[in-house]
Amino acid sequence: MSDGRINEQILNWIKINSKDDKIIEDFLKDLIYEEAEHTGQWKWKDNYRKKIKKCSDKWEKYI
């Protein structure tokens, strides 16, 4: 099996491009892992919305 399920470069560049915005960095990484886990159909919309809500709340305080 492939050792690195996710292309490490993607994770690295998400980090670099997020600059110091740790909330967005973690949010996107979380989405990447989640998408990699789900190969078939899944309820992505609820999941995305929840994550956006949660992160943007934190983000509000952060920025």
Of residues 24-43, which lie at the interface with another protein (CB under 8 A)? 24, 27-28, 31-32, 35-37, 39-40
Those residues whose C-beta lies under 8 Å from the C-beta of residue 52, and which sit 6 or more positions away, are: 27
Helix or strand (DSSP H, E) at 17: helix 8-18
Q: How far is the CB of 53 from another protein (least distance, A)?
A: 7
**Minimum distance of another protein from residue 19's CB (angstroms):** 9
DSSP state of 38: -
The C-alpha atoms of residue 39 and residue 22 are separated, in whole angstroms, by 27
List contacts with another protein (CB under 8 A). Answer: 1-7, 9-10, 13-14, 17-18, 21, 24, 27-28, 31-32, 35-37, 39-40, 44-45, 48-49, 52-53, 55-57, 59-60
